[in-house]
Amino acid sequence: MPAFTPDAARVLGDPWQQLRLDAAERVAAASLPTTDEEIWRYSRIAELELSRYEPLDTVTVVTESPYVFRDAVDEVSDVLGVDAPDVFAEANTVLMTPWCVRVPRGVTVEAPIVVTHTVDLGGAAHYPRLVIDAGPDSEFTVIERFVTSDGAEAVDTLVVPMLHVRARQGARVRYLSINELSDQAWLIGHQRAVAERDSSILLASVALGGYYARVRTEARVVGAGASTRQVALYFASGDQMHDFRTLQDHAAPHGSSDLLFKGAVTDKARSVYTGLIKIRENARGTAAYQTNRNLTLSQGAWAESVPNLEIETNDVRCSHASTVGPIDEEQLYYLESRGIRPEVAERLVVLGFFDEVIEQLPAAALAAELRARVAAKFLGDAA
């Protein structure tokens, strides 16, 4: 992978030269993951031909705001971190040009800050990185969109995004990721969020695009009384596959975390969810919950759900639950018995199934648009 060599990192130079060099050396020593690794089990990683893609700068448009910066060392260096979970995150470090949203102490930003990445060129690889740093007692919302323009529905591209979120004491951060990529695209993402004392973080995701779309999310409670919440809506059709790996990691007392992921698969599509709640020895008084629900809408569709608990202390409240199955026949019968056509009844049940997630998304103005996109996808509309 010549784009990720130390020589390539030197050409890119400051302000991130040492981080780039270190990451390039780790990429050179690493190999692509395989499904033999538990964290990649059930995935499509064996199908990825990385040599097909050439790195390209990402076209990114960001809401004009005094709290948004690009490639600003002082704004992001203490948030980035250096540890990466896999070779894709290392590659992102070699090529990154970070965008940063930094809101200072006590500031509330009413309107969402929107970051839109557009990828329209086949054979291109993109490595966007977003850093969100919430000052003490600040409050704001960030929406990050990954889109393929109309008319480019068959674009085969690779997107490897990374997200870092830090909520300092008492901060309230809401983040929403929306995947509207081509059904031929690959997305392999990593998200890391750290909640300090009495802060709260919402990580929300809507995944509709991609041939293979994978997001690995680590939500860490490191301060007493902090909370994290994760919600996701995903819908795969055709040959698509959505893949989510989550960690709710508690390393401080009296924290809380909640996770609700809901997905549907139809045609020959697939989905995977594996999640872990980890309660460390010093995290007494923790409350942590994890729920994953999946609808299989056709005989050829397949969904896998694997929730897990790892608890190292007493005095905690934890639960996990998962379901995989078709639409409840009684619900369909109820609607059809009142004169609703079967295909309309099925669509209403699916939309109702997703409403629990849509209502928790941080941008209420997007709810109608997202419902319309889910309905269009259900009907096989490419619009």
How confident is residue 382, by pLDDT bands cut at 50, 70 and 90? very low
- At 272, the amino acid letter reads V
Name the amino acid, one letter, at 30.
A
Residue 173: what are its φ and ψ, rounded to 5°? -120, 135
Q: Which residues contact 344 (CB under 8 A, 6 or more apart)?
A: 335
Query: Tens digit of pLDDT for each residue in 226-265?
Result: 999 999 999 999 999 999 999 999 999 999 999 999 999 9
Lowest mean pLDDT among 83-87, 148-152, 243-247: 148-152
Contact 377, 235 (CB under 8 A): yes
Please report the pLDDT score of residue 79 as a whole number. 56
Q: Is the pLDDT reported for residue 218 higher than 90? A: yes
Whole-number pLDDT of residue 9: 64
Residue 327 DSSP one-character state: -
Residue 158 confidence (pLDDT): 94
pLDDT above 80: residue 17: no
Listed residue (253, 248, 115, 239) closest to 186, CA to CA: 239
| pLDDT confidence of residue 373 | 86
Q: Which residues pair with 130 in a beta bridge?
A: 99, 163
Task: Give the residue with greater pLDDT, 10 vs 155.
Answer: 155
| pLDDT single digits (tens) 300-329 | 999 999 999 999 999 999 999 999 999 988
80 — pLDDT class (breaks 50, 70, 90) = low
Give me the torsion for CA of 116, 122, 123, 128, rounded to 10°: 0
Across 149-166, average pLDDT: 85
pLDDT reported for residue 263: 97
Structure tokens belonging to residue 118? 């557009």
What is the average pLDDT score of the chain?
90
Contacts of 84 (CB under 8 A, 6+ apart): 23, 26, 90, 92, 93, 190
- Average pLDDT on 7-11 reads 65
> What pLDDT does residue 160 have?
95
The domain limits of the chain are: 2-327
- Token pair belonging to 230: 């994760």
DSSP state of 135: P
Residue 334 pLDDT grade (very low, low, confident, very high; cuts 50, 70, 90): confident
What span, in angstroms and rounded, lies between the C-alpha atoms of 163 and 274?
Answer: 19
DSSP output for 211-271: SEEEEEEEEEE-STT-EEEEEEEEEE-TT-EEEEEEEEEE-STT-EEEEEEEEEE-TT-EE
Neighbour count for residue 122 (Cβ, 10 Å) = 15
145 three-state secondary structure: strand
Distance CA 183, CA 209 (A): 5
Predicted TM-score (pTM) above 0.75: yes
Q: Residue 124 pLDDT > 60, yes or no?
A: yes
- Provide CB contacts within 8 A for 312, sequence distance 6+: 279, 280, 281, 283
